[in-house]
Amino acid sequence: MMLRAVQIGLMSGLLFGCADATQGRDASEAVFSGSCEGICGGEAPSGCFCDAECLDSGDCCPDYEAVCSVHASCDEDDPEDDDAGDDAPPPGDQACFLGEDRNGTTCLPVVSIDPYSYPSPLNNNYREPIRYIDVEAVDLETKIAPNWKLAEISVPYKGRYQVVQPHAVDKLQQVRDQAGALVMKSGFRSPPYNAEQPGAASRSRHMYGDAFDLLPQSTSQNNLYNICNSLGAGYVAKYNSGHVHCDWRNVSVDPLFYGNLALAPGGPPPAFTLADLTLSIDTDGEVYWVEASGYDTEEGELTREWSALDEQGEVLTSAETLTFEPPVGTALLRVNVGGLSEVEHAL
């Protein structure tokens, strides 16, 4: 798709009707009813829209500009900037990261573009990005944190335009500080790349720039799992390959990438709960296993941590394995799946 206007002042004029720029659609003339509260970037139940394209197509919800507006400066352009070129981002139109020196001054340009189709948002933290890092226009060897290069999170074949949220990189470095050496198995995935992966969650947080699959090199999987939880990760899961998925879906998304959002009274976006994980213990009469669905199977199998309990509730034996043969005297099987949920089965 064609790049939208890169300059913040121009984009805000086109999309949100700044007084000294091209005016957007006047909400008072809207023929649609409905509200954008909680669904910026998507479609309201009434059929009106809350994304940037609605201004061109004329199907915005009446409160789109008030609820989903990106608050950007509408000051007149500096004449000295006229020769900067269409591809040069203006000052401030950058994502700034912790950096190798932890000073927060390692900045990369972002572009305003609509290259992907995102699923309808579950809530405010799942709205569609409005800006991305063009990974073909930046140095992927840039250290965006003391122990992390951009190339470890942003792999070009997973999408030219990528979101990497600075607050998530801060958390990622804190994980590294506590856990020691880590291998990044997966960072950002564009929606088209994600859709091509068998079993991938349709709303994977890898598409939103705050999710990382980490393989520990100098600590245990359980310790890495606990570290991510202690640092406020909204979803942490252990996989049979040895890696841990950590994401910060409960932290408000970065307004640079997602735009400012006028929240309804009552506080922050709604809390997240474990989505659609279904577990059941099955057996052939001797061997037991857990059927699990409703999670991102593209990352592999979730771990199974089995405990066999006797009639008094004492643990007879424990094991971490995909299948399990309970010892004589077992009255109850209890399985922790991926550190996400437990399921039990009485014998």
Q: Are residues 69 and 105 in the same domain?
A: no
Contact yes or no for 238/225 (Cβ under 8 A): yes
- The answer to whether residue 274 scores a pLDDT higher than 70 is no
Q: Name the domain count of the chain.
A: 3
- 184 sits in which H/E element: strand 182-186
**Nearest one of 87, 133, 81 to 109, comparing CA atoms:** 133
Q: Exposed, middle or buried, 311 (CB in 10 Å: 0-12/13-18/19+)?
A: exposed
Q: What is the pLDDT of residue 61?
A: 80
Q: Could you give the CA distance from residue 315 to residue 332 in angstroms, rounded to a whole number?
A: 9
Listed range (8-12, 180-184, 230-234) with the worst mean pLDDT: 8-12
- The more confident residue out of 71 and 298 is 298
Q: What is the pLDDT of residue 198?
A: 86
Q: Are residues 10 and 143 in the same domain?
A: no
Q: Are residues 155 and 81 in the same domain?
A: no
The last residue of one of the domains, among 86, 108, 127, is: 86
- The answer to whether residue 226 scores a pLDDT higher than 70 is yes
Q: Are residues 245 and 324 in the same domain?
A: no
- The answer to whether residue 276 scores a pLDDT higher than 60 is yes
The last residue of one of the domains, among 238, 254, 270, is: 254
The last residue of one of the domains, among 86, 105, 137, is: 86
Q: Are residues 176 and 198 in the same domain?
A: yes
Q: What is the pLDDT of residue 79?
A: 38
Q: Is 57 among the domain residues?
A: yes
Mean pLDDT of 149-154: 97
Q: Are residues 61 and 33 in the same domain?
A: yes
Q: Exposed, middle or buried, 284 (CB in 10 Å: 0-12/13-18/19+)?
A: exposed
Mean pLDDT of 210-214: 97
Q: Is 304 among the domain residues?
A: yes
- The answer to whether residue 209 scores a pLDDT higher than 50 is yes
Q: Is 327 among the domain residues?
A: yes
- The answer to whether residue 331 scores a pLDDT higher than 60 is yes
- The more confident residue out of 265 and 198 is 198
Q: What is the pLDDT of residue 84?
A: 39
Q: What is the pLDDT of residue 52?
A: 66
Mean pLDDT of 125-150: 96
Q: Could you give the CA distance from residue 252 to residue 244 in angstroms, rounded to a whole number?
A: 22
Q: What is the pLDDT of residue 21?
A: 30
Q: Is 342 among the domain residues?
A: yes
What's phi and psi for 247, nearest 5 deg? Answer: -140, 160
Q: What is the pLDDT of residue 186?
A: 96
Q: What is the pLDDT of residue 83?
A: 43
Q: Could you give the CA distance from residue 303 to residue 280 in angstroms, rounded to a whole number?
A: 14
Residues pairing with 288 in the sheet: 283, 324
Q: How confident is the model at residue 25 (pLDDT cuts 50, 70, 90)?
A: very low
Q: How confident is the model at residue 271 (pLDDT cuts 50, 70, 90)?
A: very low
CB atoms within 10 A of CB 11: 21
Ramachandran bin of 78, using left for φ above 0, alpha for ψ from -120 to 50, beta for the remaining angles = beta
- Residue 338 belongs to domain with CATH number: 2.60.40
- Residue 196 belongs to domain with CATH number: 3.30.1380.10
Q: What is the pLDDT of residue 82?
A: 42
- The answer to whether residue 343 scores a pLDDT higher than 90 is no
What's phi and psi for 336, nearest 5 deg? Answer: -95, 125
Q: What is the pLDDT of residue 295?
A: 75
Q: Are residues 14 and 117 in the same domain?
A: no
Q: Is 263 among the domain residues?
A: no
Q: What is the mean pLDDT of the chain?
A: 79
Q: Are residues 212 and 131 in the same domain?
A: yes
Reported pTM? 0.67
Mean pLDDT of 197-221: 94
Read off the pLDDT of residues 26-36 as tens digits, 9 standing for 90 and up: 333 434 677 77
Q: Are residues 105 and 48 in the same domain?
A: no
Q: Is 309 among the domain residues?
A: yes
Q: What is the pLDDT of residue 42?
A: 67
User: For residue 120, what are the domain limits?
Assistant: 92-254
Q: Is 273 among the domain residues?
A: no
- The answer to whether residue 120 scores a pLDDT higher than 50 is yes
Q: Are residues 97 and 237 in the same domain?
A: yes
Q: Are residues 161 and 221 in the same domain?
A: yes
Q: Are residues 18 and 161 in the same domain?
A: no
Q: Is 260 among the domain residues?
A: no
Mean pLDDT of 6-33: 35
Q: What is the pLDDT of residue 131?
A: 95
Read off the pLDDT of residues 236-270 as tens digits, 9 standing for 90 and up: 999 999 999 999 999 999 999 998 764 444 444 44
Q: Tokens for 323, please give them.
A: 């299948």
